[in-house]
């Protein structure tokens, strides 16, 4: 029962594999909806990946495909035993380091010295409000997750996201009011 060693899977591969393992057999469209409600909030990617990635996983022998016989003839994918094992192995590995944040707002702040007057203040206001909106959405989602059982880990992940948003909000507010890290804090 050796697992086929195909071309190394990416994080996105495991994301899709994980969804399939958690949810049971799903069509790409179902995955799309699930992603939009959960993981997509902090790991966004276009819906087309949900059509191209499962076949790739199938080629690696980690998921099984089944095509509906009726009118729509949708493809439905399911993680098999090898897939679940591969996922478990990946989850047990130490996470790769150094992904960074890749936040455009931060990048623009970094180059603040090249900005025209007022641009940094505008950026700070904008970022604060974007982040505030995001936090509200996350709070709503958190309420739903708490009310429904079986989502403990999703809830925890969201919790980290919310803490990130909270610090981002207060940071950008500080920037907007020029109160960032007063010397000799």
Q: Which residues bind a second copy (CB under 8 A)?
A: 11, 14-15, 18, 21-22, 38-44, 84, 87-88, 90-92, 94-116, 119-120, 122-123, 126-127, 130, 146, 152-157, 159-161, 163-164, 166-168, 171, 175, 180-181, 183
Q: Which H or E run includes 15?
A: helix 11-23
Do 64 and 80 contact (CB within 8 A), yes or no? Answer: yes
Could you give the CA distance from residue 69 to residue 21 in angstroms, rounded to a whole number?
23
Q: How far is the CB of 105 from DNA (least distance, A)?
A: 17
CB of 70 to a second copy, least distance (A): 31
**Cα 87 to Cα 151: distance, rounded to the nearest angstrom:** 18
Name which of 136 and 160 has its Cβ closer to a second copy.
Answer: 160
Reduced to 3 states (helix: H, G, I; strand: E, B; else coil), residue 158 is helix
User: Which is closer to a second copy, CB of 69 or CB of 98?
Assistant: 98
Please pick, from the candidates 48, 129, 156, 177, the single residue that binds DNA as defined by CB under 7 A: 48
Instruction: Report if residue 28 touches DNA, rule: CB under 7 A.
Output: yes
Question: What's the min distance (Å) between Cβ of 56 and a second copy?
Answer: 18
Q: Report yes or no: 121 and 112 within 8 Å, Cβ to Cβ.
A: no
CB of 83 to a second copy, least distance (A): 10
CA distances to 5, 132, 163 from 138, in Å: 38, 10, 10
* Least distance CB 138 / DNA (angstroms): 21
- Which part of the chain contacts DNA (CB under 7 A), choosing from 44-52, 114-122, 134-142, 156-164? 44-52
- Residue 79's closest CA among 64, 90, 99, 98? 64
């Amino acid at each position: 029962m050796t697992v086929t060693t195909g071309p190394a899977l990416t994080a996105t591969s495991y994301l899709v594999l994980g969804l399939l393992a958690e949810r049971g057999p799903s069509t790409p469209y179902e995955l799309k909806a699930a992603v939009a409600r959960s993981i997509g909030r902090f790991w966004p990617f276009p819906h087309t990946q949900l059509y191209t990635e499962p076949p790739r996983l199938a080629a690696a022998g980690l998921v099984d495909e089944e095509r509906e016989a009726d009118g729509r003839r949708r493809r439905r994918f399911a993680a098999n035993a090898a897939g679940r094992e591969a996922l478990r192995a990946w989850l047990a590995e130490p996470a790769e380091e150094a992904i960074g944040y890749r936040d455009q707002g931060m990048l623009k702040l970094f180059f603040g010295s090249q900005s025209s007057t007022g641009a940094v203040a505008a950026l700070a206001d904008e970022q604060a409000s974007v982040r505030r909106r995001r936090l509200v959405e996350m709070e709503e989602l958190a309420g739903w997750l708490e009310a429904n059982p079986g989502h403990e880990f999703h809830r925890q992940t969201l919790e980290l996201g919310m803490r990130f948003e909270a610090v981002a909000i207060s940071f950008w507010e500080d920037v907007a009011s020029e109160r960032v890290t007063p010397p000799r804090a």
